[in-house]
Amino acid sequence: MEIQRVTRSLDSGMVEEAYRQGIFPMADTDLGVVTWHRPRRRAILPLESFHLSKSLARTIRRGGFEVTYGQDFKGVMAACADRETTWISHEFMEIYTQLHRAGKASSVEVWMEGVLVGGLYGVCLGGAFFAESKFHRVTDMSKVALAFLVRRLRERGFELLEVQYLTDHLMQFGVVEVSHKEYMTRLGGALELERRFAP
């Protein structure tokens, strides 16, 4: 079963341990609970086979933006939560910010003229990065954030980029599904590494 348990609250220790066990939380803001998920099949983006489209490559070459890492984690989370329906509650923002301060969560920010126009955030443990959510305020800037995330993970020697669920949108970047067993094997190997995402 995908949902492993339901709790009324969470803390940073619970969250970190969950990711290490292949589980991730989501807030049900209507019911005021946290659901803990372990999908039977998990979506990952193999770093060696990331697909950079010609149009995105042109956007990156054209420039006009600046990319930073872990510089405005709270701003990225708030932007990701700024939509009609979201699983990113205020409690989540507090807990994940604690993880960020501990070096166990980070973000990619895309700026134009000092304004945050795109980005993503996730949990980073060992050589694994668990991407949580992304946003854009200017066309393609969330895609730029993803491309620079992959570049960063390659440069820093990470081995696993997990994106939870496979979607048509994510397939264009080379995201694939693996079984729970294979995911746990990959996760175990990645967690044994000592890697640092930011700064």
The answer to whether residue 20 sits within a structural domain is no
pTM for this model (two decimals):
0.94
Residue owning tokens 């994940």 = 96
The answer to whether residue 197 sits within a structural domain is no
The answer to whether residue 44 sits within a structural domain is yes
Q: Is the dihedral of CA 129, 135, 136, 140 positive or negative?
A: positive
Instruction: Tell me how crowded residue 97 is: count the other CB atoms within 10 A of its CB.
Output: 16
The confidence score (pLDDT) of residue 1 equals 46
Distances from the Cα of 57 to the Cα of 51, 129, 150, angstroms: 10, 23, 14
The confidence score (pLDDT) of residue 84 equals 82
Per-residue pLDDT tens over the stretch 86-121: 889 999 999 999 999 999 999 999 999 999 999 999
Read off the pLDDT band of 85 (50, 70, 90): confident
Per-residue pLDDT tens over the stretch 46-81: 999 999 999 999 999 999 999 999 999 999 999 999
The answer to whether residue 77 sits within a structural domain is yes
Whole-number Å distance between alpha carbons of 184 and 21: 8
The confidence score (pLDDT) of residue 3 equals 77
The answer to whether residue 130 sits within a structural domain is yes
The answer to whether residue 139 sits within a structural domain is yes
The confidence score (pLDDT) of residue 29 equals 83
Domain count for the chain:
1
How high does pLDDT run on average in the chain? Answer: 95
Query: In terms of residue numbers, what domain contains 133?
Result: 40-191
Whole-number Å distance between alpha carbons of 70 and 77: 11
Distances from the Cα of 68 to the Cα of 49, 154, 159, 173, angstroms: 23, 16, 21, 21
Q: What percent of the chain has pLDDT over 70?
A: 99
The domain that holds 99 is classified in CATH as 3.40.630.70
The answer to whether residue 18 sits within a structural domain is no
The answer to whether residue 134 sits within a structural domain is yes
Whole-number Å distance between alpha carbons of 180 and 160: 14
